[in-house]
Structure formats: structure tokens, C-alpha cells
Structure 1
């Protein structure tokens, strides 16, 4: 009986952990960058906002090149927020 309970508990952990990890996974930074650039192409920004977006995009690209998708996505999301998206 104890073995059955342990097996069920481990099985539940094995099933739910990958599912939880899948929802927490960041968007591939290349996809986020494409979305950012598409939005940036049609956005009407003042000079200060253009500078902010450009700076955030540069930082995001740097993190993307370093395979740090989570931080890259954070920079891209901040840039999108500046553009009102």
C-alpha cells in the first residue's frame, strides 16, 4: 500500500511539473523581437519614446544573443509598453 501511494505521488509530480514548466517558459526572443519590430514600424512615437524603445530593443537583442530569452523578452515587453501595446 505504501508503495502504491508513493508511486501515485511521484506520478502526479512527474505529470504536473512539465505542464507547469511549459506555461512558465518564455517566448523565443526572436519571435518577440519580430513582434516588436512590426509594432515599431507602425507606431507614431515622439523622439523621447523612440529613444527609449531603441535602447530597450538594443538591450533585448544583447540578451537574446546571449541566449537569455527571459530577460530579452522583458526588455521587449517594456518597449511594447512604451509604444502602448
Structure 2
């Protein structure tokens, strides 16, 4: 009986561990957007970089509104990279 309980406990951990890591991996897109806008306010960018950041921000907001936080955060991270942050 103890072996069965141990096997069930290990199986539960094996399934729940990766699932919780997936949900914990991304930050809420609203928080990431706030950080992006704060960085954008202090960044000195060329017109081409401003357009690229604006385009990525728009795509990120679109994904954020669709409750796709992971892809929204990816767009925001790309915009941060353009700004050198």
C-alpha cells in the first residue's frame, strides 16, 4: 500500500510540476507593458526604432487583450531589445 501511495504522489508531482511552471513562466502582460512604457519614456530612439517599438507594442497590446500573455510578453521583450533594455 505504501508503494502505491508513493507511486501516486510521484506521478502527481511529475504532472503538476511542469504545468505550474508553464503558468508561472510569464508575467502578466499589463505589468510588462507598464515596464515597456516606462523604458520608452526615457529612451532616446531614432525614428526607425521608434516605429519598430510602436509596432511591437501594438502587437503586444493586441495579444494582451486576447489573454495571450506569453506572446504579448514576447512582443514587449522584442521592443525592449530594440531600445537596448
Tell me the TM-score normalized by structure 1. 0.84
Match of 2:10 in 1: 12
2:64 counterpart of 1:48: no
Relative to structure 1, the CA distance from residue 22 to residue 42 in structure 2 (aligned partners, 3 Å threshold; closer, same or farther) is farther
**How far apart in 2 are the matches of 1:18 and 1:54?**
38
Moved over 6 A (4+): none
Tell me the TM-score normalized by structure 2. 0.84
2:28 counterpart of 1:60: no
CA RMSD after TM alignment: 1.7
Aligned residue for 2:84, secondary structure, equals coil
Q: Which runs of 5+ in 2 are unaligned?
A: none
